[in-house]
Chains A and B, each alone.
Chain A
Amino acid sequence: MINEIDGFLRTGLRCGFTRRNFFQRTAGVAGAGLVLGKNLILPKPALGSADAAQPNPIPLTTALPFGTFHFLFPGPSSEPSLITDFNGFVGVIDFQGMGTDGNGNRLVYRGDNRFMLGEYVGVDGRAHHATFGFI
C-alpha cells in the first residue's frame, strides 16, 4: 500500500498541485495580497456572513503567492485551531491513502483535516459552543 501511494506521490510532487505540495512549495513566498478577478464567483460561504455565531479566524497567517491566509501547517509546534477566541478540544491528522473512483480507477487522496470542539466568541462578540471541522 505504501509503495502504491509513494508511486503516485513521487509523480504528484513533480507535476501536481496538491494541497500538501502546493502548500509546501508556496508557503513562505511573500504574499502579494489577495487579488480577486473581475469574474470572481462567490458561492455561499460555508459559515454564512449573516451568521452571528460565525467564528473569527486566527490572527496567524501563511503567505501564498496569491495571498495571505489564516492557517498554519500542522506540526508539533503549530497552532491546530483555525478559529480564534477559542477554548476547547482539537484534533489534527495529516494523511494520505488510496481509493477507487466510480470507474474503478485507483487514485490517491490526501489532506490535512482537523476538528475544533468547544466554546468560542463569535463575530457578534457573544460566547457560543460548537463543533467545527477543517476539511
Chain B
Amino acid sequence: MDVLDPSGQQIHGYDPGLSSNGVVWVKELPDGSVVINPAAGTASLNVTDVALFDWVTNKNSFLQGSVLGPPANATISMRIDWSGVVARHNLQEPDQGFAGEFVLTGAQIAVTLHTEADATHPAFDFVSDPASTSVSDFAEIGKERNGVFSR
C-alpha cells in the first residue's frame, strides 16, 4: 500500500516483502480474517495490527532494501468490503494454469497505518477517511484453482 505526499511522491510503501522463494508481498492472515459469500457477491477482509514493513518505496521493497536501506517495522489495520454484483464470469486459462468462477463487484476500504520509529525512520501514522469515500477501480471475488488443482 502506497502513501503519497502532496507533491505526488511516494513517501511510504507498506508490504510484507518478498518470500525466500519469490512469493510477492503475501502474508498469512489470522483465521477468520475473511468472510466470503460468492453467491451473494459479498466478502469482507478485516485485520488489525498486521505486522509488515515500510520500505518507503516499492522499488526499495522489490530490491529488498538495496536502494534506500532496510525497512522500518510497521503495522496495518484495514477493512475491505466487497458488494454489489456487476457481472459474473468464468475463466478457463489452461495456458496460464488457472481457472475459476469470478464476480466483479464494487468494494470499499478503510485503513490505518503505523510506522515504528527507528534509527533511520521517523514514526508515521496515517488514518484513511471513511471507507465510503474510497474509490475502487477494479474489484472482484470468486473461486480459483491453479497448479495441481487445475489439471
* Bitwise interface map of B from 110 to 151 toward A, beta carbon under 8 Å scored 1, else 0: 010100000000011111110001111111111111111100
- Which residues of chain B are within 8 angstroms of A82 by Cβ–Cβ distance? 23-26
Q: How far, in Å, is B110 (CB) from chain A's closest CB?
A: 8
Asked if A16 contacts B9 (CB within 8 A), the reply is yes
Asked if A57 contacts B8 (CB within 8 A), the reply is no
Select one of B63, B70, B146 contacting A84, CB under 8 A.
Answer: B146
Asked if B63 contacts A36 (CB within 8 A), the reply is yes
Given contacts A81-B144, A115-B29, contact A69 B62 (CB under 8 A): yes
Q: How far, in Å, is A97 (CB) from chain B's closest CB?
A: 4
**Size class of the contact patch on chain A:** 35 or more
Asked if B62 contacts A85 (CB within 8 A), the reply is no
Docked pose: A12 CA to B11 CA in angstroms: 11
- Which residues of chain B are within 8 angstroms of A92 by Cβ–Cβ distance? 138-141
Chain B contacts with A in 44-101, Cβ cutoff 8 A: 45, 47, 50, 52-53, 57-59, 62-66, 69-71, 76, 78, 80, 82, 89, 91, 93, 96-98, 100
- Which residues of chain B are within 8 angstroms of A15 by Cβ–Cβ distance? 7-9
Asked if A57 contacts B47 (CB within 8 A), the reply is no
Asked if B50 contacts A16 (CB within 8 A), the reply is no
Asked if B129 contacts A86 (CB within 8 A), the reply is no
- Which residues of chain B are within 8 angstroms of A32 by Cβ–Cβ distance? none
Asked if A16 contacts B8 (CB within 8 A), the reply is yes
Asked if B63 contacts A57 (CB within 8 A), the reply is no
* Bitwise interface map of A from 13 to 37 toward B, beta carbon under 8 Å scored 1, else 0: 1111111101100000000001011
Asked if A89 contacts B52 (CB within 8 A), the reply is no
Select one of A55, A76, A135 contacting B15, CB under 8 A.
Answer: A135
Asked if A43 contacts B17 (CB within 8 A), the reply is yes
Docked pose: A82 CA to B63 CA in angstroms: 19
Question: Can you list 9 pairs linking A and B with CB atoms under 8 Å apart?
Answer: A5-B135, A18-B8, A79-B93, A81-B144, A97-B134, A100-B129, A115-B43, A117-B36, A134-B25
**Residues of chain A having any CB pair with chain B under 8 Å:** 1-2, 5, 8-20, 22-23, 34, 36-37, 39-43, 45-49, 54-60, 64, 66-67, 69-71, 74-77, 79-102, 105-111, 113, 115-117, 119, 121, 123, 130-135
Given A89-B38, A113-B1, 20 more A-B residue pairs with CB atoms under 8 Å apart are: A1-B129, A9-B8, A15-B9, A16-B7, A16-B10, A19-B58, A41-B70, A57-B22, A58-B97, A58-B146, A66-B62, A77-B91, A89-B34, A91-B82, A94-B139, A99-B3, A106-B6, A109-B4, A121-B148, A131-B34
